[in-house]
Amino acid sequence: MNPHPQSLAALFESEESALLHFALGIVRRRTVAEELVQEAFLRLQKVWDQVDNPRGWLYRSIRNLALNHLRDTPPEAQLDEERAAPDETLPRELLGRNEAIGTVRMLLAEMPEDDRALIRLKYHDDLKYQEISQRTGLSVGNVGFRLHHLLRGLLDGLHRAGIEGSEG
């Protein structure tokens, strides 16, 4: 019995691009990032029925795979890869931004759906607290309180990941 509302294929379709950007922000090599995303999905397929939050699991898995890759790849090999395909090397500012965005996505993926929905209503749908209150049934004050604490949690998560500013 599959506890997830969507299939693995649908998850791949909806998340592949964001996961690729996340991996790219860490390893800085598109081909390596693509391999890491593929590996994470292969691993998820094996444990699909045991994972409660597949999105969060994927972000965490890709982060761990990327860090393992960086740890296990000698610096000389990384330099050779960069020389071999300089067109794939991203500017430092873009890499920092991609890493910060990927970390926010990972943190959001790990949140309960109700919390993600509040953030989506406020920042994606650009609704005012009153409109969010009407849609969710929460009081206006509670909407503000919860959003404040959710954003505080995201900021704390970014700090724990070593991301301090908009540059990553």
Is the domain of 34 the same as that of 60? yes
Higher pLDDT, 34 or 84: 34
Based on the domain organization, do 96 and 122 belong to the same domain?
no
Q: What is the pLDDT of residues 95-137, one digit of tens each?
A: 667 677 777 777 887 888 899 889 889 888 888 999 999 999 9
User: Do 62 and 23 contact (CB within 8 A), yes or no?
Assistant: yes
Q: What percentage of the chain reaches a pLDDT higher than 70? A: 80
Residue 1 belongs to a domain = no
- Domains identified in the chain, total number: 2
Residues 80 and 20 in one domain: yes
Enter the pTM of the model: 0.53
> Domain range spanning residue 77?
6-110
pLDDT digit string, tens, across residues 13-41: 888 888 888 888 888 888 899 999 999 99
What does the alpha-carbon distance between residue 10 and residue 33 come to, in Å, rounded to a whole number? 20
32 and 94 fall within a common domain: yes
